[in-house]
């Protein structure tokens, strides 16, 4: 993924054991297309060498305010002038205290104060140091000053204690940096997403399910969060990690998904139904394991036929769209044939604002897809791409239509697409 293509980042390291994770982060930021200029405090050099960071980034590392390598001897200004952001990983207690007070006693603090770009910091420290009232005060003050504070997380610490203050993992910081650069098209909005398959039990060990991997729904949840929305994800069984910052509610059956969605729906501005919901559940599901061979009177055993009876599941999307004040509703249609006709029919039948059509062969399991959007005013094609890239384009299309709709008077907006 080239999420950070064209971005130039100053990666600042301060003195803390988590500095070893900065090496991994530098690598990942570049894998995603960023160029990385490392600046280290003197303290950081006790934990990881400048040689390591130079080898990983292919650029000389700056540590000293009086470094003469910049032609005008103005490293404290020049290094951040081309930067899209400064990212401090790890940020020590001392460094956060200096930032809170605008101190400039080394190259990195001076760079931060002299910057004209955003500043993101990932605190890393012992739990007592993080909990200290001065640190809490300083962290709040830098946040109030517009600094983006990433984490910290809670968990095992290098000192052997367990608690809050642990630095986020490099992949989490990467996700947060990527999210930071996405346009905040859904700021102030709440978005509810369903994803994955549902699983309808036959007995305690068997079930009817489908091939949905959940990748598209998870990508939509992530993209909506990146766009600034508060996101709740109601997920059927998948092996996927919850996107950062997203609240996830796990369900198994369509009826559980229906109940969870109906609890959440009216407090959301937008509902995106990506889940591949089973249309039926088994009426005569057994509460004990069905045996392949049922013993007959002689005890010999006889192969038994199995008859299942089905009852229809609630249509979750249609139920949300029928609420008195429904959120902006978006459905998916995965079809094997007649995509356009089926998608247009679903748009009308479910009375939703948008249907996202795709071919069933693309929809299940793959990492990429191609989508067509139907909104009652024509079709928009989103060309084949990675599912996260597509999800971001879809979120932009939804945000645009939601904004247009909210500009209409309330009575006109009802029932419109
Ligand atoms: N959907 C839903 N609840 C259901 C069935 C479907 O919320 N019980 C949602 C899906 O999440 C999707 C959209 O409705 O957003 C279309 O799903 P699909 O299975 O294609 O539609 P159906 O109405 O079940 O039509 P069919 O299976 O006949 O194609």
Instruction: Kindly state if the Cβ of 62 falls inside 6 Å of ligand 1.
Output: no
Ligand 1 lined by 127 (C-beta under 6 Å): no
Which domains does the chain possess? Answer: 8-181 (3.40.50.1950), 190-414 (3.40.50.10300)
Q: Ligand 1 mean position to 209 CA, how many Å?
A: 14
pLDDT of residue 289: 93
pLDDT of residue 345: 95
- CA 333–ligand 1 middle distance (angstroms): 7
Return the pLDDT at 297.
59
Distance of CA 87 to the CA centre of its chain: 20
195 CB near ligand 1 (under 6 Å):
no
Give which of 47, 147, 161 is closest to 96, Cα–Cα. Answer: 147
pLDDT 10s digits, 197-241: 999 999 999 999 999 999 999 999 999 999 999 999 999 999 999
Assess whether the previous peptide bond of 152 is cis (omega < 30° from 0): yes
Give the C-alpha separation, 227 to 74, whole Å. Answer: 36
Nearest CA to ligand 1 atom 20: 333
Cβ–ligand 1 contact at 63 (below 6 Å): no
Predicted pLDDT of residue 278: 97
The catalytic residues are 159
Residue nearest to atom 24 of ligand 1 (CA): 279
The per-residue pLDDT for 299 is 58
Strand-strand pairing, 368-374 and 379-386: antiparallel
CA distance 20 to 52: 10
* 3-state secondary structure at position 109: helix
313 lines ligand 1 (CB under 6 A): yes
CA angle at 415 for the pair 409 and 417, rounded to the nearest 5°: 85
Rounded-to-integer distance, Cα 35 and Cα 85, Å: 11
In short, whether 150's Cβ falls inside 6 Å of ligand 1 is no
- Angle (nearest 5°) at CA 138 between 135 and 141: 150
**Percent of the chain as helix, strand, coil, to the nearest 5:** 35, 25, 40
Q: Which of 261, 264, 278, 315 to mutate to test the pocket of ligand 1 (most atoms within 8 A of CB)?
A: 315
- Intervals of the chain under pLDDT 70: 73, 293-304, 363, 410-417
333 lines ligand 1 (CB under 6 A): yes
The ligand 1 atom at the shortest distance from the C-alpha of residue 334 is 20
pLDDT of 160: 85
Residues 168, 170, 172, CA angle at the centre, nearest 5°? 60
Q: Which atom of ligand 1 is nearest to the CA of 320?
A: 7
- Ligand 1 nearest atom to the CA of residue 333, by list position: 20
Query: What is the Å distance from ligand 1's center to 242 Cα?
Result: 23
Question: What is 227-254 written as a DSSP string?
Answer: TT-EEEEEE-S--PPPPTT-EEEE--SH
Decide: 86 and 117 in contact? Cβ < 8 Å.
Answer: yes
Q: What is the pLDDT of residue 230?
A: 98
pTM tops 0.85: yes
């Amino acid at each position: 993924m080239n999420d950070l293509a064209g971005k130039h980042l100053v990666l600042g390291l301060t003195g803390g054991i988590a500095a070893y994770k900065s090496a991994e982060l530098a690598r990942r930021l570049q894998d995603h297309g960023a160029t990385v200029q490392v600046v280290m405090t003197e303290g950081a050099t006790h934990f990881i060498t400048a040689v390591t960071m130079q080898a990983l980034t292919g650029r000389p590392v700056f540590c000293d305010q009086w470094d003469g390598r910049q032609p005008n001897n103005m490293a404290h200004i020049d290094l951040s002038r081309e930067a899209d952001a400064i990212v401090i990983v790890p940020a020590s207690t001392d460094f956060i205290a200096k930032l809170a007070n605008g101190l400039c006693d080394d190259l990195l603090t001076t760079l931060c104060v002299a910057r004209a770009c955003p500043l993101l910091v990932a605190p890393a420290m012992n739990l007592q140091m993080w909990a200290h009232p001065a640190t809490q005060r300083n962290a709040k003050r830098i946040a109030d000053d517009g600094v983006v504070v990433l984490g910290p997380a809670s968990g095992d610490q290098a000192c052997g204690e367990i608690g809050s203050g642990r630095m986020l993992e490099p992949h989490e910081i990467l996700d947060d940096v990527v999210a930071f650069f996405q346009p905040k098209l859904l700021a102030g909005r709440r978005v509810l997403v369903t994803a994955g398959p549902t699983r309808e039990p036959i007995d305690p060990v068997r079930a009817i399910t489908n091939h949905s991997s959940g990748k598209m729904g998870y990508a939509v949840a992530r993209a909506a969060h990146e766009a600034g929305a508060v996101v709740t994800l109601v997920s059927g069984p998948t092996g996927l990690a919850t996107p950062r910052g997203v609240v996830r509610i796990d369900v198994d059956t369509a009826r559980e998904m229906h109940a969870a969605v109906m609890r959440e729906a009216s407090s959301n501005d937008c509902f995106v139904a990506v889940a591949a919901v089973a249309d039926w559940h088994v009426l005569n599901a057994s509460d004990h394991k069905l045996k392949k061979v049922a013993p007959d009177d002689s005890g010999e055993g006889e192969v038994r036929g199995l008859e299942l009876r089905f009852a229809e599941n609630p249509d979750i999307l249609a139920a949300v769209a029928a609420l008195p004040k429904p959120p902006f509703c978006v459905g998916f249609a995965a079809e094997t044939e007649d995509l356009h006709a089926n998608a247009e029919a679903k748009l009308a039948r479910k009375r939703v604002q948008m249907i996202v059509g795709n071919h069933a062969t693309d929809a299940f399991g793959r990492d990429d897809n191609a989508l067509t959007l139907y909104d009652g005013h024509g079709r928009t094609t989103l060309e084949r791409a990675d599912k996260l890239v597509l999800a971001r384009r879809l979120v932009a299309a939804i945000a645009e239509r939601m904004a247009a709709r909210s500009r209409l008077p309330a009575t006109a907006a009802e029932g419109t697409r």
